[in-house]
Structure 1
Amino acid sequence: MIRADHARRSLRIHAERLAQTAVDTTLPHRAKATVQQADALARFLDDLSGRFAAHPGSLPRTALPPAPARDTSEEALDEERLLIATATAYPAETRQRRWLVSEDFAFPLHAALWQCLTALTHRGDAVDPITVLWEAQHRGLLAHDIAPADLLTLLSTPVGSPEHWGEKVLQRALLTRAQTVAVSITAFTDDPANSPHQLITGSRRALADLTAVRSRWQQATSPAVPRTARPARTPTAPRAGPPPRITPPPVRATR
């Protein structure tokens, strides 16, 4: 019981550190620090799994609280708007932003517009404010969410690059997911019915959701690997074999 209680308290401390790091705006590299805290939490879970034997039926049955609210600040709103506008202006670059998905957006309208853009580029259609407007109208977005004139204004004011704003949007999604993971793990530790192994299994399942976003964030922020030219093919050396047979010239008859 003492070992189990100590494991429970320690796990809760790791979850609290993860949550605090994800919301700490004073950190110069908050996303990287959050990823490091997630790694520390994963290592702690690996250590716990070596102390407590596994057994079947290990998933916790704790009712999870609602996920933390998404960041809907004016800054987040502007970043998503600028991403949609620049993605419309530079569709060729949008095709390369496969690490961004609609679930990363905090505003449902922007998520739906991103789906419009990716659908157009996937079909190979032309992408401009008019075609995006048509696609949005086809999906029923203009009926309730935004007026056609307002959408054209949004799509026609690009600033910067899709890559820059896409990384901003994805980073916010990463931080939000880290907070959700921390809340879930804290709820597991607050439930005394959970055994140590249930805590381990439930926490790893929660971390897996963060790992999925993290892998896309690392793909987005990693420097591109330069493509090297393929070396020229050298002539194939002749295969070893018997020397060629030389026929001697005919001998002329002498008188």
Structure 2
Amino acid sequence: MKPLVQAEQAVLGSVFLDPGQLDQLAPWLRPEHFSRPAHAALYAAMLKLRADGHPATTGKSGDPIPLSWVTDTVQEASTRTRGLTASYAHSLISACPRTTHAPVYGRMVLEGAIHRSVTQHAVRLHQAARADAVRGGVEETVRHAQILSDVLADLAHRWGTEPRPVPPPAPNTSTSQQPQPVDEQVLADEEFLLGCISARPEQLLDVVGWLHPGDFADIGHQQIYRALGALHHRGEPIDQLTVLWETQRRSALSDGTLDAERVLRICDPLSLSGVAEHFGGQVVQASLVRTAAASARQVRALADNESLAPGRLIGYALHALGPLDDVRRRLRLTHEPEPPQRTSRPGTSPPAARIDAARARSHLAAAPAPSAPVAPACASSPDRHNHRSPS
């Protein structure tokens, strides 16, 4: 017999022997915290008889316990489940080592319930993520992710701790970092997005605030997106050759992540044209579903570890949900209205100014003419990130 079942029997036996123990247990121990239906029914019956003012629960400490306390509890519990007998109730009484230890036994029951509840909701989140991956949505994933967060917060308060994310001392990456199959449509959307940005680099401003390299399922696509961002940040021109050169500088060609033919194909400006913002949103949605599945697997692995105390389990689980919360926040940004465009003087062209800045850094002897000062790259960087270029 598992220690959890013995703890449930002990806490029920202690209440049979001393109904006054309910005063300490009732505020935080609920029937659903018991793993066995018969135990949950007995505890629910005890709470109901206490609420109805049963003589056994209204007497003073030291008064003899009415014999009806056991029979009435079994009778009330029989309306909730089948198979209960008075002999089983007496076996629970004999299973209680110390009546005064009822609160400790109750916390054992709550600890088992916390592990069980976290496991159940992690499984539901994983199932929702898998279903959304098939149908191409995120609604169920977002809903179950919020439910799991709320459950962890509620369990923390019941256990008497703060719902605060805590990184585990030795993160278990065996379950969360396993490569998972990716739908071909997701990879196609990623390639289409990179092609759109390569053909019209100004569209990078539409997505750079909420689309991160880690949102791409393919590692090669992550490297191309990083290369595009680096070229844009430095104010250098973007085309097939510059992107290929930047990926080579980042060792993406030498380590086998990419090859030159693939980079040139993805960045071909004649093959693709579209709205990067739309496909960027699709990429973030797919990233949320993948991240939710990975977080759910990690949380379940934590909950299956019975050696983890509830406080640590809750803190580690909240930490495991951190990446998912970040993707959820950025997904909301894809639906927010666009910020107002910054007005500029007639005749000025920020992209051209950035190209001039790149050329100026390439020639040491040339000095900028007084009539046409060139802004340093570091000075133009904030505007590139915080404002969209005027059309």
Q: Tell me the equivalent position of 2:346.
A: none
SS of corresponding position for 1:221: coil
- Once residues 135 and 60 of structure 1 are traced to their aligned partners in structure 2, the CA distance between those partners, rounded to angstroms, is 37
- Give the C-alpha shift of residue 226 in structure 1: 6.0
- Once residues 70 and 81 of structure 1 are traced to their aligned partners in structure 2, the CA distance between those partners, rounded to angstroms, is 19
- Once residues 50 and 22 of structure 1 are traced to their aligned partners in structure 2, the CA distance between those partners, rounded to angstroms, is 27
Q: Tell me the equivalent position of 1:239.
A: none
- Once residues 166 and 219 of structure 1 are traced to their aligned partners in structure 2, the CA distance between those partners, rounded to angstroms, is 11
Moved more, 3-12 or 141-150: 141-150
Structure 2: 5+ residue stretches without partners: 1-107, 342-391
Q: Tell me if 1:224 matches 2:334.
A: no
- Give the C-alpha shift of residue 26 in structure 1: 8.2
- Once residues 124 and 62 of structure 1 are traced to their aligned partners in structure 2, the CA distance between those partners, rounded to angstroms, is 39
Q: Tell me the equivalent position of 2:174.
A: 65
Q: Tell me if 1:133 matches 2:133.
A: no
8 Å Cα contact 1:59/1:202 also seen in 2: yes
8 Å Cα contact 1:22/1:175 also seen in 2: yes
Of 109, 115, 133, the residue aligned with 1:2 is 109
- Give the C-alpha shift of residue 141 in structure 1: 3.3
Q: Tell me the equivalent position of 2:150.
A: 43
Moved more, 46-55 or 191-200: 46-55
Q: Tell me the equivalent position of 1:13.
A: 120
- Once residues 151 and 180 of structure 2 are traced to their aligned partners in structure 1, the CA distance between those partners, rounded to angstroms, is 28
Q: Tell me if 1:198 matches 2:317.
A: no
Query: Which amino acid in 2 is paired with 1:83?
Result: L
Change (3 A) 1:71 1:160: farther
Change (3 A) 1:110 1:77: same
Of 144, 154, 169, the residue aligned with 2:266 is 154
TM-score (norm 1): 0.79
Query: Which amino acid in 2 is paired with 1:84?
Result: L
8 Å Cα contact 1:87/1:162 also seen in 2: yes
Structure 1: 5+ residue stretches without partners: 228-255
- Give the C-alpha shift of residue 140 in structure 1: 3.6
Q: Tell me if 1:111 matches 2:111.
A: no
- Give the C-alpha shift of residue 25 in structure 1: 4.0
- Give the C-alpha shift of residue 147 in structure 1: 4.4
Q: Tell me the equivalent position of 1:77.
A: 187
Change (3 A) 1:113 1:200: same
8 Å Cα contact 1:113/1:136 also seen in 2: yes
CA deviation string 1:79-120 (max 9, x = no partner): 111111101112111023121111111111111111110001
8 Å Cα contact 1:14/1:41 also seen in 2: yes
Q: Tell me the equivalent position of 2:5.
A: none
Q: Tell me the equivalent position of 2:283.
A: 169
8 Å Cα contact 1:7/1:48 also seen in 2: yes
Change (3 A) 1:119 1:26: closer
- Once residues 289 and 203 of structure 2 are traced to their aligned partners in structure 1, the CA distance between those partners, rounded to angstroms, is 25
CA deviation string 1:123-173 (max 9, x = no partner): 111112232223223334344444434432321122422112211211111
Query: Which amino acid in 1 is paired with 2:127?
Result: Q
8 Å Cα contact 1:142/1:148 also seen in 2: yes
Change (3 A) 1:188 1:165: same
- Once residues 58 and 118 of structure 1 are traced to their aligned partners in structure 2, the CA distance between those partners, rounded to angstroms, is 30
8 Å Cα contact 1:60/1:199 also seen in 2: no
